[in-house]
Amino acid sequence: MSNLAADTALTPLEDQGSILKTAEDKRTIITLDAGGTNFSFSAIQGNREIIPSINLPAQADTLEQCLETIVRGFRQVMDNCPSRPSAISFAFPGPADYPLGIIGDLANLPVFRGGVPLGPLLESEFGLPVYINNDGDLFTYGEAIAGILPQVNDQLKKAGSPRRFKNLLGITLGTGFGAGIYSRGELFTGDNSAAAEIWGTSNVLDPRNSAEEGVSIRAVRRVYAKQAGIPIEQCPEPKDIFGIFSQEQTGNKKAAEQAFNSLGTVAGNAIANALVMVDGLVVIGGGLAGAHTAFMPYLMEQLNLETTTPVGIRKRLDATAYNLEAENDLQMFLKGDVKTVGIPGTSETMVWDPLKRFGVGITRLGTNRAVAIGAYAYALKQLGQQ
């Protein structure tokens, strides 16, 4: 399924402390977008692709064939680069030990089962540092570097708000349900390369299954097929179900509404549970992100849900969530509740915005570009630390 979310060209905004100024960096990093059917290789410099992408089929009958394809793709990129790259950095599916570069038992690339040291292999082959990470992490990092995080902070600055956000929860909705956590210049990756695995949280509509079974392409199709009373084999793809929802295509509109209702409800519940720990902005990408007008109302309802406690009714979150794609919500989010307070015992004052709030928005870069920029920035940061 193609990404429903359109790519948006953005100029990186003001530097935010430890965030790297990647747009001005002259080093070149080789990248790979490792999908289940295709490997797409490219080279990034200053947050931009500097050569046309090279696409090779990902499917292989043996590990040797798959590794040969990966090496061949990187070799073609190097041959086309105007200068020698500084590193290789890319997203690859898990499970994996990303710091060691060892790929584990992949569902969509079974030739890697048993553990394959892909990173060390590539380092030996090309004589370059190699950095591998999860696509959810790199998507989040890209949006933190040059996407929604600097954009929202720039909007707050222009609105005269004293607030700035330094934390970001990235969510990907597509074949699976992924996430990443960025905090004050760093990715939170955990001790087992398994941080932010939001797919495994509980499914509020079906506690017997994981959230991913309610927040994925297959989930949207399954709900539509059930509500429409058709076999799953006859169910359209989510982009067509969204077309039915928008009345641009013929089909069962009520079934389409229910499919996105379920997606938004399950995703919203999972994101609400994550926000209790993360406390920051939320950005949503992936193949289903373009259908946000269909599922966002239900997602936001979960974030602002009221619950009953022994002392009365209160919000489930200690902050109000705003939909940054809705103009009224955006303006309230930017305005906040700015006050001037006096410092006791002095004649001085402080500007303070006590309104606790989250903002939820759709990818500003496009998912693929955010992952590429994330991979680029992550490599530059690691090279700087070394």
d(CA 166, CA 183): 6
**Taking the domains of the chain in order of start, what are their residue ranges?**
22-138+372-385, 159-365
Average of per-residue pLDDT across 344-364: 96
pLDDT value for 61: 83
Amino acid in position 98? Y
Nearest residue to 11 (alpha-carbon basis) of 144, 151, 140 = 151
pLDDT value for 20: 58
| Class of domain 22-138+372-385 as given by CATH | alpha beta
pLDDT tens digits along 74-132 = 999 999 999 999 999 999 888 899 999 999 888 777 888 899 999 999 999 999 999 99
d(CA 228, CA 242): 14
Q: Is the pLDDT of residue 29 over 60?
A: yes
pTM, two decimal places:
0.90
Question: 159-365 — its CATH code?
Answer: 3.30.420.40
Task: Let me know: does 33 contact 91? Beta carbons within 8 Å.
Answer: yes
Nearest residue to 138 (alpha-carbon basis) of 64, 44, 8, 4 = 44
Within 10 A of 277 (CB to CB), how many other CB atoms are there?
Answer: 10
Which two structure tokens, joined as six digits, stand for 238?
Answer: 């989510």
Amino acid in position 373? I
Query: What burial class does residue 104 get, using C-beta atoms within 10 Å of its C-beta: 0-12 exposed, 13-18 middle, 19+ buried?
Result: middle
Task: Let me know: does 281 contact 138? Beta carbons within 8 Å.
Answer: no
pLDDT value for 158: 96
